C-alpha cells in the first residue's frame, strides 16, 4: 500500500521508503501500486530527488502500474555497501544501478522514465540491456554522453548555463558544492526552469537528499568524467567502451522537450532521431522546464501511457 504523507510544513512526501541491497548499493526507494502491475521505474535527475514524481505516481497507480521511484546513488538514504568503492557518477554506473535494482527485485522488464541523470540512466539501460527495458521515456531525447567530443564548444549562451560543469572541475567547485548544496541547486533550478514557480518548501524537500555523505563525491565525479577530466571506475570500463560508440536505442521510446527549458532548447526531435531505431514519438511540452515531471506531470504521465501502448 502506498501513501503520500504530509509533514508539518504541509509538503507532500513519498513515504514510506523501502530499502534493498543490490550488488553495489543499499537503495532507498518508494514503491506503489499492485504487485502484478506492469512495472514503471521513475528516475530523478541532479540536483533533484524522488519528489519530482510526487504528482506522477498517483496517476500511474490509478492506471494499474507497479511504480518504483529510487534515490540514485549519492542521493537521499541510498548508500554504498563497500566503504572503499569508488564514488563514481559516470553514466555506466547509473545504468548499472537500475539493472542491479531490477535483478534483486526480480523484475524482468520495466518501462524506464526519467530526465537529466535519470533519463540518461534509462537510455543506458535501453542501449546496453534492451531486454530489460520494455520502453523508455526520456526528457531531452538521447542522453548518452559523447565523452570524446566533450570539449567541443557550444553556443555561448548555453555554455553560461552549464557554469557548474566547469566549476565542478576545480577544487574550489568541490568545496563550494560541499558548503552550498541547496544554494547551488536553487541557481540551477532557476536557470533550468525559468517559468517554474517553486517555493522554498519544494526546494527544501529535494535538498534533504543532498545531505547524503557521498553526494559531493558522486556529483563531482559525474561532471569530471563526462568532460574527460576523470577516469571512470574500473568495473564500468567495458560498459563505457560500448557507450562510446553511441549505440542506438532499439526499444520503444517517447521523448519530451520542455519549451521553457532554460538550458536545453527544445527541438522537433530530429537531431536525435538517428539514435533511435525502434518505435519513437517525440513531444514538445509547453511552459515546462528541465524538471518536466514535476512541472508538467500530466504530460509525463501521458508519455508513459503512450510508450506502454507501444510495448505491452
Question: In this predicted structure, what is the pLDDT of residue 11?
Answer: 60
Question: Nearest-CA neighbor of 223 among 162, 132, 133, 294?
Answer: 162
**Please, are residues 121 and 97 in contact by the beta-carbon 8 Å criterion?**
yes
Residues of the chain below pLDDT 50: 1-10
Per-residue pLDDT tens digits for 3-55:
444 333 346 899 999 999 999 999 999 999 999 999 999 999 999 999 999 99
Q: Check residue 276 and report its DSSP letter.
A: B
Question: What domain range is 15 assigned to?
Answer: 3-311
| Residue 41 burial (10 A CB sphere; 0-12, 13-18, 19+) | buried
User: What is the domain-level CATH number for residue 291?
Assistant: 3.40.50.1820
Q: For residues 255 and 136, give the distance between their C-alpha atoms in angstroms, rounded to a whole number.
A: 8
Per-residue cell: 270: 530530429
Domain count, the chain: 1
Q: From CA 234, how far away is CA 121, in angstroms rounded?
A: 18
Q: What is the pTM of this model?
A: 0.96
Q: Using CB atoms within 10 A of its CB, is residue 54 exposed (0-12), middle (13-18) or buried (19+)?
A: buried
Give the SS3 label for residue 94: helix
Percent of the chain scored above 70 by pLDDT? 96
C-alpha span between 301 and 126 (Å, rounded)? 19
- Residue 196 backbone dihedrals phi, psi, to 5 degrees: -85, 115
In 3-state terms, what secondary structure has residue 254?
Answer: strand
| pLDDT for the residue numbered 281 | 96
pLDDT at site 94: 98
Amino acid at each position: 500500500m502506498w501513501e503520500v504523507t504530509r509533514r508539518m510544513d504541509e509538503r507532500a512526501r513519498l513515504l514510506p521508503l523501502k530499502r534493498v541491497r543490490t550488488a553495489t548499493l543499499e537503495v532507498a526507494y518508494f514503491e506503489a501500486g499492485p504487485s502484478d502491475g506492469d512495472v514503471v521505474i521513475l528516475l530523478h535527475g541532479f540536483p533533484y530527488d524522488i519528489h519530482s514524481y510526487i504528482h506522477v505516481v498517483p496517476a500511474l497507480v490509478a492506471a494499474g502500474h507497479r511504480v518504483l521511484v529510487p534515490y540514485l546513488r549519492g542521493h537521499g538514504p541510498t548508500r554504498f555497501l563497500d566503504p572503499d568503492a569508488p564514488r563514481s557518477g559516470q553514466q555506466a554506473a547509473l545504468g548499472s544501478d537500475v539493472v542491479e535494482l531490477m535483478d534483486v527485485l526480480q523484475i524482468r522488464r520495466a518501462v524506464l522514465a526519467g530526465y537529466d541523470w535519470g533519463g540518461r540512466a534509462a537510455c543506458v539501460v535501453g542501449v546496453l540491456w534492451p531486454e530489460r527495458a520494455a520502453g523508455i521515456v526520456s526528457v531531452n531525447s538521447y542522453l548518452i554522453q559523447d565523452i570524446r567530443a566533450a570539449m567541443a564548444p557550444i553556443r555561448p549562451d548555453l555554455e553560461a548555463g552549464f557554469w557548474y560543469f566547469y566549476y565542478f572541475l576545480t577544487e574550489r567547485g568541490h568545496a563550494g558544492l560541499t558548503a552550498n548544496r541547496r544554494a547551488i541547486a536553487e541557481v540551477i533550478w532557476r536557470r533550468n526552469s525559468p517559468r517554474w514557480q517553486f517555493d522554498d518548501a519544494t526546494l527544501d524537500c529535494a535538498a534533504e537528499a543532498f545531505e547524503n555523505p557521498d553526494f559531493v563525491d558522486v556529483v563531482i565525479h559525474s561532471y569530471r568524467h563526462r568532460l574527460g577530466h576523470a577516469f571512470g571506475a574500473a568495473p564500468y570500463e567495458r560498459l563505457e567502451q560500448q557507450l562510446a560508440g553511441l549505440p542506438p536505442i532499439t526499444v520503444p521510446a517517447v521523448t519530451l522537450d520542455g519549451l521553457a527549458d532554460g538550458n536545453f532548447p527544445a527541438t522537433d526531435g530530429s537531431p536525435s532521431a538517428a539514435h533511435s531505431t525502434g518505435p519513437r514519438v517525440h513531444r514538445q511540452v509547453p511552459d515546462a522546464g528541465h524538471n518536466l515531471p514535476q512541472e508538467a506531470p500530466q504530460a509525463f504521465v501521458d508519455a508513459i501511457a503512450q510508450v506502454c501502448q507501444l510495448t505491452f
